Structure 1
Amino acid sequence: MKIAVYGASGFTGGLALAELSRRGIAAVAVGRDAERLSESADRAGAQDADLRIAGLADHAALVEAFRDCDAVLNCAGPFALWGEPVVRAAIAAGSHYVDTTGEQGYLRHVLDAFDADARRAGVTVVPGLADDGGPGDLIAALVAARLGDVDDLLVADLRRPGAVSRGTARSMAAAEGAVPLEYRDGGWAPAPADETGRTIVVPGEPDKAEVASFALPGVVTVPRHVRARRVRGAIRAEVAALFGSLSAEAVESVPERPDEASRAAARWLMVAEASDRSGRTVRGEVTGTDAYGTTAVIAVEGARRLVADGAPAGTRTPAEAFDPADLLGFLEASGASWRVEAA
């Protein structure tokens, strides 16, 4: 098995290389700069990685870089700016594709625009295998399965403010100004602007947290496999305010790589709450530490499963491509925990 990592010289790409090396999976590091790729491979302990040079503007070079790879893992964001050429090249090379995006608009575009091409090529495209979109989609599927017909489903990212990478800051800044979507009555619509001030129970905290509407990936992915009248997303109001205050200067001042102590101390938490028309409610939670490390683990495991186990060709959400409980169970070895129960 051979898996290519595009954006391997970046922070998340380096973590993906390290995870591939840890698991004994042959890695191909792809990017624009040979020196940076070599440094990243050394830092990741992946000195055996095959280094290949290909830029986003050269489709033929990208296809050739991916040609003998079973899957491509794309870590180069902001994906709305740089993701599409990698998807196209992976499909053209006959390679499965996963990425680590959390960008709502990009996710919707990939799922809609590349399904036919992926089916014709006989490959599977799974965007959004990161610490928010992956666990959020998986736990929402398990919650909805307890209810059957879902009237309202909320996907909430309830992590507190913490250290982020420059890549994450760039993605958030690139998405700033985009109106968060919600799924309502069979289609996507702008999330109501007057829904600030809502609160939600947070496990382990004495008081409810105030949340605000936000463009979470689950709003786009969950309606693909859950029949629901409404699907919406939210994050803590304080985190939404922080993202909204990002300027170009502030983004570029963010360290490329958060230090390991900050990563280990930061806890991520995805919650899904679903209710039916009678008011019966089911809640699911999935949480862990080191969001960036979790992203590398879930993205590598997703790519590995596509190669080893297969999935229907076309574009798929995480919960469509993989068994939700099984993949969440796999993350337990990396310190994650999850549960689903009546609220």
Structure 2
Amino acid sequence: MSWIVTGGAGYIGAHVVRALATAGLSPVIIDDLSSGQTSFIPEGVPFVNGTILDRELVEKTLRDHNAEGVIHVAGFKYAGVSVQRPLHTYAQNVDGTRVILEAMEAAGVRNIVFSSSAAVFGTPGVALVVEETAKKPASPYGESKLIGEWMLRDQATATADSEAPLRHTSLRYFNVVGSADPTVYDVSPHNLFPIVFEALLAGKTPRINGDDYDTEDGTNVRDYVHVGDIAAAHVEAAKRLASGASIEAAYNLGSGDGLSVKQIMDAMVRVTGIDFTPEIGPRRAGDPDRIVATGELAARDLDWKMRYSVDEMVRTGWDARRNAG
């Protein structure tokens, strides 16, 4: 039996694929390569080139590979851009998830791990986010992820008395960074780490958006979590679903304390050996002072822990990016 990984040629998905293979869980990738990279696909892992919007293709892949479950990582992940492209965001993230659930029901596949997002909370206004914190997404991206969680919940209810009742969990994570494989790196033009890496490689000075937030050093504070830890949590969730063990509908994969942008920049200087003083730009509209989540539930059920220091997060990401040339 296998686990189908949608978006398995992307930065996070490729790490999930490697973690599944290490655990002996036979990954199979579906990816349309809209943001994924063929170079991220490990040798020997089956790869289906196509979109998750193709119901026939998804169902055929589930059947052909005797799927035990799906780890659904694919999606349009750019919160800011989603404001300009809401219909595209909903097509990829809402319709895509619906198609996957339809194909799973038709093929009798009952387990799904859904890669959700901290964007479901919007600007929560609390010091520490927990799973029950009010959901107030501030972008079409966050809304699409919350709708995805609702669809899983409703489909589980609808299939509860069927031969293949849906078992599911949603993993909400925040700023995913670093690398657990020297051949895989973050290619997003919108994330802090690759923005800083590209600036440094081009001989430019990285920028901080605002230094007057209500935080200890004036820069905003976020959860930064290592992609290797994120991948490991997906595997633990898949194993828990397959075993029939009890599982929560959603888990926050948070650090519990967070890091400021200045702390990240200081680590960039230490690790890269490139001495720079970041430029200070204006605040971005709507950026809250602090968003940090607890990971206590995930620690209890999914062996979630922060295994990397901030310097190790930077070092692994920097080495993987430079390795790419």
Report the TM-score when normalising by structure 2: 0.48
Q: Which structure features the higher share of strand residues? A: 1
Report the TM-score when normalising by structure 1: 0.46
Higher RCO, Cα 8 Å, sep 6+: 1
